Structure 1
Amino acid sequence: MAQIVDQWTKRVPDGNKTKKVRTARWGKGKRWLARWDENGRRVSRAFENRDAAEAFLSRTVTEQVDGTYVAKAKKEITVGRVWPIWWATKAGKSKSTREGYLAAWQHIKPKWSEVPCQEISRAAVAAWYPTLTGRYLDEDERPLSLGESSLQKVGIVLNGIMATAVEERIILSSPLRMKDVPKQRPTQRRYLTVAELDRLREAMPNAATQLVVDVLSCTAVRPGEAFGFQVGDLDPMRGRLRVARDVDARGGADDTKTRRHRDVPAGGDLLHDLETAAEGREREDWLLLMPDGRPWTRNRWRPIWTKAVEEAGLGDLDTYELRHTAASHAIHSGANVKTVQRMLGHASAAMTLDIYGHLWDDELDLLPAQMDAHKKAERARFTERRQRAARQLGGSRVG
């Protein structure tokens, strides 16, 4: 039963009547106490004035009836207590993805970990995003603003935590919106020409490093995926490489970024070089090795790449640009969007078009001439067919 209690006074017998007297709490703390039943136990909340207590109690009773009530105990649950629940749902993600989420939590934790989910507001979070800083300092010893990609990841994680709070009935609805998460502006992708790619290969110090460049620029795999190839992933008969794992910066092997495996094409000189590299070795051996026989990691690759890029005169170039280059060369070679999607391991053709659609737009320049050539060929074929029919008809009349 719901009721309002005055904590400053109480009624005591006075002959045949009762009278109101002050309690030991007179003038101390909040006077009015709202009491109600919650999951079989008695709970309460104090208020300064009776009107506020009655309004709260009326709202509570209504919420219990229509099913929108959130238990008092849950109203005190903080963001930090929900984080492990949300984090547990990401156990199936790749190691690199989980590391990104952990890094984002380190930014969220100092500000919001001890704050009850009930007290999180959209305006407060929006005002907080611009204050986040990275680890590095500029020349003036000022902290740099957090990068767009990292800032977006922070927003995704915080939104995910609040969505989990809704699922756990800690809050009725999340005040946050995904549209408020800072957006990452599209990056300028660089596509190497064949001449630039040749310069890069020539700048590599040996055949082992050239093979890495060839694999990346021909198959469009990610660097970690390339370093994760094992001898058994090469299928010379089909001309395929199986992308089944990823190697992180320290050499640890994990599943691919998308948790899906795929086949990428390997033919021509690349297939010949890969067969040579795999010859006489066990299926579980790493396919791409450093000249000294150690497996590649991104940390071991980085200084070699930096030096070669400088010698080739290619400016500030990231290894990942070879993935974009491979996609560009495939598209300009006539590959359709589904083929490129499969090669890149994208979840959908729409994702591939979002990233590389403009490269297919370049092919529109060739379309008028190709259509003209097609129509001329069809007209010529039609004319030839009519002439052949006429000759056959003339021959039959003579006979």
Structure 2
Amino acid sequence: MASIARRPDGTYRPRYRDATGKEHARHFKRKVDAQRWLDEVTASIVTGQYVDPAAGKITFRSFFDDWSQRQVWAAGTVTHMNLVARSVTFADVPLKAVRGSHVEAWVKAMHTDGLAPLTIANRFTAVRTIFRAAVRDRRITSDPTADVSRPPKKPSSREQHIEVPTLEDVSKLLAVTDPRMRAYVGVCAFGGLRLGEASAVRVDAIDFLKRTLRVERQVQYKPGFGAEVKDPKHGSKREVFIADELAEMLARHIAEHGTSAEGWLFYNGAGRPLPPSTVDSWWQRTVKAAGVAGLHIHGLRHFYASGLIAAGCDVVTVQRALGHARPSLTLDVYSHLWPTAEDRTRKASAAMLRDVLARSADSLRTEVVS
């Protein structure tokens, strides 16, 4: 039901009722403007595009808090989305009042703060997902990010930088680290495991005869629950072809330090896998002692990848060794790749490990002589 009434003051008052029976009205000086508004509303109702004007009064923050509770997300996605929602500069702005300029200012602020292009692009995508959900939920008529250019994921050639430790750096790390964590450095630097994957290595995942290491799980921090063991990120389950020297390092670790009752190689006093906080504390002490403070443990994974690439491994080989879901992800991080096979992957890792061990032995002999 819709109508237009002329008021005593000469203005026109169009009104209509929505599907719930709620009445809506506005005032215009000209009847033609009142009729245009009423026609637009009627058309949106007929086409199923109608949005209650009051629905968009909810703030971005409030909508996200409500909407996110209904989503089925992995723990990592929950953490990421909550971080993104807290980072926007328009969290307390009503949804219907958010403009493309708000989004552009937020993107510019992240760039000014020095965030990596990939981080900015991922956060932008997350916010676009939230606004599109608001459109589907009939909270707003359009997505304010639609007219904003998506930030590039890749930095320019001048900005792009991958933190890759040198052979000397890895040699120093092996020399100064806690003996119980030497094999931890090994599986990261010569097996390409992520921190959480290395923490979740069990003895039954190692095939010493075939010289393989199965990556089947990871340790991840879950807010409010602490560390938990779960499946690795999508596409990351894999079998790593390890060098003879790494297999020997792991065997020596088991012989000298044992495993937990459940078979974990790296565990705490309770027999559980090392939580990320414990690993981070150990790592900070280790890089400081090695004189490479500031090096992130993920740099060991880059060290492994760069060694494979330098030895001529093709993109698919490196992708599988690192547990990337798609070759494109590998190419996003690493550039020049050449054809290879499994034996060359193992050979490349062996060559790196032998060189590092030789440097470590030379360093120890020099210290003894002096």
Alignment correspondent of 1:244: 216
Give the whole-Å Cα distance in 1 for the aligned partners of 2:23 and 2:114: 44
Give secondary structure in 1 for the equivalent of 2:240: strand
Give the whole-Å Cα distance in 2 for the aligned partners of 1:291 and 1:322: 26
Alignment correspondent of 1:162: 131
Give the whole-Å Cα distance in 1 for the aligned partners of 2:237 and 2:54: 45
Q: In structure 1, which of residues 96, 102, 110 is the aligned counterpart of residue 82 of structure 2?
A: 102
Alignment correspondent of 1:171: 140
CA spacing shift, 1:345–1:125, aligned 2, 3 Å: same
Alignment correspondent of 1:145: 113
Could you report, residue by residue, the CA deviation over 1:160-216 in whole angstroms, capped at 9, with x for unpaired residues?
A: 11011222233343120463448674552133343432222112232x221111110
Matched, 1:115 2:83: no
Residue identity matched to 2:322: L
Q: Contact between 1:245 and 1:253, CA under 8 Å: does it hold in 2?
A: yes
Q: Contact between 1:225 and 1:243, CA under 8 Å: does it hold in 2?
A: yes
Alignment correspondent of 1:256: 232
Q: In structure 2, which of residues 21, 25, 35 is the aligned counterpart of residue 41 of structure 1?
A: 21
Task: Tell me the CA shift for residue 229 of structure 1.
Answer: 1.9
TM-score, with normalisation over the residues of structure 1?
A: 0.69
CA spacing shift, 1:72–1:239, aligned 2, 3 Å: same
Q: Contact between 2:121 and 2:150, CA under 8 Å: does it hold in 1?
A: no
Could you report, residue by residue, the CA deviation over 1:251-304 in whole angstroms, capped at 9, with x for unpaired residues?
A: 333432337522222341222333454577578332224699774233223343
Q: In structure 1, which of residues 188, 192, 203 is the aligned counterpart of residue 176 of structure 2?
A: 203
Q: Contact between 1:104 and 1:150, CA under 8 Å: does it hold in 2?
A: no
TM-score, with normalisation over the residues of structure 2?
A: 0.74
**Which entry has the higher C-alpha Rg, 1 or 2?**
1
Give secondary structure in 1 for the equivalent of 2:294: coil
Give secondary structure in 2 for the equivalent of 1:34: strand
Higher RCO (Cα < 8 Å, 6 or more apart): 2
Unaligned ranges ≥5, structure 2: 340-370
Could you report, residue by residue, the CA deviation over 1:51-100 in whole angstroms, capped at 9, with x for unpaired residues?
A: 4322210211233334433344544454344314652575333x233212
Matched, 1:319 2:297: yes
Give secondary structure in 2 for the equivalent of 1:82: helix
Aligned ranges 1:1-399 → 2 under 5 Å: 1-6=1-6, 8-9=7-8, 32-39=12-19, 41-51=21-31, 52-72=33-53, 74-84=55-65, 86-88=67-69, 91-93=72-74, 95-108=75-88, 111-116=90-95, 118-131=96-109, 145=113, 147-148=115-116, 151-177=120-146, 179-181=149-151, 185=155, 187-206=160-179, 208-248=180-220, 251-258=227-234, 260-278=236-254, 284-289=262-267, 295-358=273-336, 360=338
Give the whole-Å Cα distance in 2 for the aligned partners of 1:211 and 1:48: 76
Q: Contact between 2:287 and 2:295, CA under 8 Å: does it hold in 1?
A: yes
Residues 54-63 or 241-250, more deviating: 241-250
Unaligned ranges ≥5, structure 1: 10-25, 134-143, 362-399
CA RMSD of aligned residues (A): 3.4
Give the whole-Å Cα distance in 2 for the aligned partners of 1:105 and 1:182: 20
Give secondary structure in 2 for the equivalent of 1:200: helix
CA spacing shift, 1:147–1:258, aligned 2, 3 Å: same
What is the percent sequence identity of the aligned residues?
Answer: 26
Residue identity matched to 1:2: A
Residue identity matched to 1:190: E
Aligned length: 327
Give the whole-Å Cα distance in 1 for the aligned partners of 2:119 and 2:328: 24
Q: Contact between 2:212 and 2:239, CA under 8 Å: does it hold in 1?
A: yes
Give the whole-Å Cα distance in 2 for the aligned partners of 1:88 and 1:293: 34
Q: Contact between 1:222 and 1:320, CA under 8 Å: does it hold in 2?
A: yes
Q: Contact between 2:183 and 2:253, CA under 8 Å: does it hold in 1?
A: no
Task: Tell me the CA shift for residue 40 of structure 1.
Answer: 5.8
Residue identity matched to 2:171: D
